[in-house]
Amino acid sequence: MHSVSIQLDGPAKVEVSCGEKRTRVTLRRGDMTIAPYRFSIDGAYVEPCEFLQLHLSPSVIDRAASEVGRPAAIVPVLGAVDSLAEQTIYQLEEELTSRRGTGQYVNLLIETLATHLVKYYAVETCTTKEAGGFPKYLLETTLDYINRGLDRNLSIEEIALAIGIEPARLARAFRASTGKSIHRYLNERFN
């Protein structure tokens, strides 16, 4: 099974070892972690926390990959900031726990999430190389919003509202994705 988790509280420190690579990150509410089918972790430490975990069978990912014409090879991700995946998972939880959801709508949400994972977290397309970063589509949306607003003094709060995440998560994910703070990026763009 592919495992997708959304952090429900936080912050929580996480340390994961995969072979020679050791990654430490602090997960915050809404951060997404992906463990692909047959992915092996040598050791992990997770501070006590709450998260919502969803398991997708390989056949669901294979179907989505076939429909978008991409390989079904999903990469492991630790602490991605992805508001679209996050909201899809929350909606799926609501439909399943409320018992109001129809099977057809639940299946549509699962297919939507699987397609999203194949499009943005496949080996060829994943840009969330560093823990806590943005997927490619969200980084491009953020940069596009900034570039269209160069004629005015943009605030982090305004940018965060435009892309649908909290300002602190925007700042952290932007730095992880670009290697520079959003303040520095804005100053460079405006000067």
Do 98 and 19 fall into the same domain?
Answer: yes
- Residue 150's Cβ-count burial label (10 Å; 0-12, 13-18, 19+) is exposed
Task: Give the domain extent around 175.
Answer: 136-190
Tens-digit pLDDT profile for residues 88-125: 999 999 988 887 767 899 999 999 999 999 988 887 66
Q: Which of 5, 20, 23 is closest to 129 using CA atoms?
A: 23
Alpha carbons within 13 angstroms on the beta-carbon side of residue 40 total 3
Q: What is the CATH number of the domain that holds 140?
A: 1.10.10.60
Q: Is residue 130 assigned to a domain?
A: no
Tens-digit pLDDT profile for residues 144-174: 998 888 788 888 899 988 888 888 888 888 8
Q: Is residue 35 assigned to a domain?
A: yes
Chosen domain end from 92, 120, 148: 120
Q: Is residue 129 assigned to a domain?
A: no
How many distinct structural domains can be found in the chain? 2
Do 71 and 141 fall into the same domain?
Answer: no
The pTM is what? 0.77
Q: How far apart are CA 50 and CA 63, in angstroms?
A: 30
